[in-house]
């Protein structure tokens, strides 16, 4: 079985549409992947995800390796059957935990402490691949070394070189024929390092590429320059995935530069804190002015939450910390994010992406009479 194909569609400036075909279905790109770290997107079910237009999910190798264990997922038939989701899944390699958990790093791999019980956990490029093969995702990622920004150039360069060495090791041991393994470009915001990493990662002939090491402290201008450098070096006929990017402006910036896939916990994490993402700007539903407000979160949204519930009710759920509030706000925020990408695909196909992007961003800037909603 061919693990992946990528068919380019329309182009508009640097932006492009395509169809990513996997063993579990097609994904129209540019596309956003909700994050299901532990084989679940927090507070929402797979029916909710389908309803908001999600076609592909992300799960995390490090967490699933620890709970319930890759062998358990393999025994029940893979991650899709395990979680009841019949669409494509991409697994992060565990590389983000190299950044977030401050483990001990050596040339062979990384030694963590389990976030669950404190036990010692070892992960190498080879074991990360083996774990992802057992989990059974459609797309697996190489194990990479990610550093926060800003960082000294020698630190960024060392992590980039290590990622390249680990990428070659991962490529050498990957065997699952119904799974694609993506390489990861590192290099921080240094244009020379980014270009070097992209060229050398492309030379390893991966079927797709993740862009790592962004959304970790850099400015939008630095991120955009890094993306432009990378886009110039990667083969245009393969998918490009900006890892960890999910805010509206950032995603549209990346789409404009020819990137295809995105993921972030942003929509659901903000929802759990009571913040709504809308076409007219973002705001906290906890604000007192919503106490008797019978309007929907976003009058331009047709999601389940906006069709059935008022701001007054959603505020009540958040103030009382009812679990239903987490679900309803998460549904809306995911629907909003999916709609941004759906609109982008349509605009690219029509040759109007620049105007679409400008209109989306200008509408989200709060006018003085809406400032109190933020």
Span 126-136, pLDDT tens digits: 999 999 999 99
Adjacent-strand bridge partners of 29: 18
Give the per-residue pLDDT at 1: 58
Residues 194-236 have pLDDT tens digits of 999 999 999 999 999 999 999 999 999 999 999 999 999 999 9
For the chain, what is the mean pLDDT?
A: 95
CA dist., res. 147 & res. 213, Å (int)? 7
Helix axes 153-173, 125-135, angle to 10 degrees: 50
Helices (H) and strands (E) in the chain, counts: 15, 16
Annotated catalytic residue within 138, 253, 260, 263: 263
CA dist., res. 182 & res. 72, Å (int)? 24
**pLDDT above 80: residue 61:** yes
Residue linked to tokens 């264990």: 69
Residues 94-147 have pLDDT tens digits of 888 878 888 999 999 999 999 999 999 999 999 999 999 999 999 999 999 999
CA dist., res. 260 & res. 127, Å (int)? 28
For the record, the structure tokens of 67 come out as 């709970």
Q: Tell me if residue 92 is catalytic.
A: yes
Determine what percent of the chain falls in helix, strand and coil, rounding each to the nearest 5.
45, 20, 35
Annotated catalytic residue within 12, 92, 196, 247: 92
Give the per-residue pLDDT at 331: 98
**Is beta strand 120-123 parallel, antiparallel or unpaired with respect to 110-113?**
antiparallel
- Which residue would you say has higher pLDDT here, 148 or 240? 240
CA dist., res. 194 & res. 59, Å (int)? 26
Q: What is the CATH number of domain 5-264?
A: 3.20.20.105
DSSP class of residue 33 equals E
CA dist., res. 198 & res. 234, Å (int)? 6
Residue linked to tokens 């040759």: 351
Percent of the chain with pLDDT over 70: 97
For the chain, strand residue ranges (E) read: 5-12, 15-22, 25-29, 31-34, 57-60, 89-92, 104-105, 110-113, 120-123, 139-141, 180-185, 209-211, 240-242, 261-264, 275-276, 283-284
CA distances for 319 relative to 175, 277, 307, 329, angstroms:
50, 18, 21, 13
Q: Where would I find the H helices in 257-303? A: 266-272
Residues 67-89 have pLDDT tens digits of 999 999 999 999 999 999 999 99
Residue range(s) in the chain whose domain bears CATH number 3.20.20.105? 5-264
Residue linked to tokens 């604000």: 287
Q: Is there a contact between 272 and 44 (Cβ–Cβ < 8 Å)?
A: no
CA dist., res. 98 & res. 112, Å (int)? 8
CA dist., res. 215 & res. 218, Å (int)? 6
pLDDT category at 370 given cuts 50, 70, 90 is: very low
pLDDT category at 366 given cuts 50, 70, 90 is: low
């Amino acid at each position: 079985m061919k693990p992946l194909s990528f068919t380019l569609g329309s182009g508009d400036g640097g932006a492009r549409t395509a169809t990513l075909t996997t063993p579990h279905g097609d994904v129209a790109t540019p596309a956003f992947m909700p994050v299901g770290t532990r084989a679940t997107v927090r507070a929402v079910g797979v029916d909710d995800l389908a309803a908001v237009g999600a076609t592909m999910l992300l799960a995390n190798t490090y967490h699933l390796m620890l709970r319930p264990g890759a062998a358990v997922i393999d025994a029940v038939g893979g991650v899709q059957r395990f979680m009841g989701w019949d669409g494509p899944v991409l697994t992060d390699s565990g590389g983000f935990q190299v950044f977030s958990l401050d483990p001990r790093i050596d040339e062979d791999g990384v030694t963590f402490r389990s976030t669950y019980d404190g036990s010692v956990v070892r992960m190498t490029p080879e074991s990360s691949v083996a774990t992802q093969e057992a989990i059974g995702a459609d797309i697996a990622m190489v194990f990479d070394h990610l550093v926060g920004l800003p960082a000294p150039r020698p630190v960024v360069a060392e992590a980039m070189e290590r990622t390249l060495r680990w990428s070659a090791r991962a490529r050498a041991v990957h065997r699952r024929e119904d799974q694609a393994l993506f390489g990861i470009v590192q290099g921080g915001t240094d244009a020379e390092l980014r270009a070097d990493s992209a060229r050398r990662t492309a030379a390893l002939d991966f079927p797709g590429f993740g862009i790592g090491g962004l959304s970790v402290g850099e400015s939008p201008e630095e991120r955009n320059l890094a993306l432009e450098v990378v886009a110039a070096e990667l083969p245009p006929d393969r998918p490009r995935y900006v890892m960890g990017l999910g805010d509206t402006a950032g995603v549209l910036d990346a789409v404009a530069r020819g990137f295809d896939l995105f993921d972030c916990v942003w929509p659901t994490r903000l929802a759990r804190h009571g913040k709504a993402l809308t076409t007219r700007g973002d705001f906290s539903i906890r604000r007192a002015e919503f106490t008797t407000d019978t309007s929907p979160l976003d009058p331009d949204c047709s999601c389940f939450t906006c069709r059935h519930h008022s701001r007054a009710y959603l505020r009540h759920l958040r103030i009382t910390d009812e679990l239903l509030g987490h679900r309803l706000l998460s549904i809306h925020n995911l629907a909003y994010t999916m709609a941004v990408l759906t609109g982008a695909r349509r605009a690219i196909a029509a040759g109007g992406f620049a105007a679409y992007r400008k209109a989306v961003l200008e509408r989200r800037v709060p006018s003085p009479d809406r400032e109190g909603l933020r």
